[in-house]
Structure 1
């Protein structure tokens, strides 16, 4: 009885160590993690002056592809944004949406 309990304990420790080691190996190789991420600008921010509609939709909270396309269309028609607050001029974009995304946006 003691021998089987000891064997079970050894197997459990060996498997736990394998899982722990695998987790460390995955954590230590950020290049694999970075290659699977969506290509957005540094620090999780999205540029309202250079991002595509798809990047805007993926990087902003509460923005779907239709609103993102409206942002790109506005930018193409009137030129680059000079301030993030200027997004209010885009139809369908309000102050609350800008405030919600202020830390995700850059010019």
Structure 2
């Protein structure tokens, strides 16, 4: 019983780590893109097809080229860990952990 409980806790912690991982849209494969909440197989395929035409310059370029991504959805994707060229989107909510780090 204790072993099952510890395994369940470890699995939960591991899943949380994946959910908050930073994923760069210009470097990620389909599996990595699919880990971002709000991106499913269809959207990740669309991203990869557009990226094949040229890397995304910035968030504005990403929003312009990917159908269905506007200001609000881009902010949510950024909050979930998506980045463009290593940068989060301006105006995306700051995570509590990030805010604590920023104060130091």
Distance 1:81 1:94 in 2: 15
- Count of matched residue pairs: 76
RMSD of aligned alpha carbons: 3.0
Relative contact order (C-alpha < 8 Å, sep 6+): which is higher? Answer: 2
Equivalent residues in 2 for 1:32-71, closer than 5 Å? 44-59=21-36, 61-71=37-47
Indicate the SS of the match to 2:45.
helix
Does structure 2 conserve the Cα–Cα contact (< 8 Å) formed by 1:49 and 1:81? yes
After superposition, give the CA deviation of every residue in 1:47-105 in whole Å (9 maximum; x if it has no partner): 1001012211112x21111001101110101x111112322121122222111022312
Q: Which runs of 5+ in 1 are unaligned?
A: 1-18, 24-32
Q: Kindly indicate which of the two structures has a greater share of residues assigned to helix.
A: 1
Instruction: Spell out structure 1 runs of 4+ moving beyond 2 A.
Output: none
Structure 2 residue aligned with 1:95: 71
Structure with the greater alpha carbon radius of gyration: 1
Structure 1 residue aligned with 2:61: 86
Q: Which runs of 5+ in 2 are unaligned?
A: 7-12, 86-104
Distance 1:100 1:70 in 2: 18
Distance 1:45 1:88 in 2: 18
Q: TM-score, normalised by structure 2?
A: 0.56
Q: TM-score, normalised by structure 1?
A: 0.54
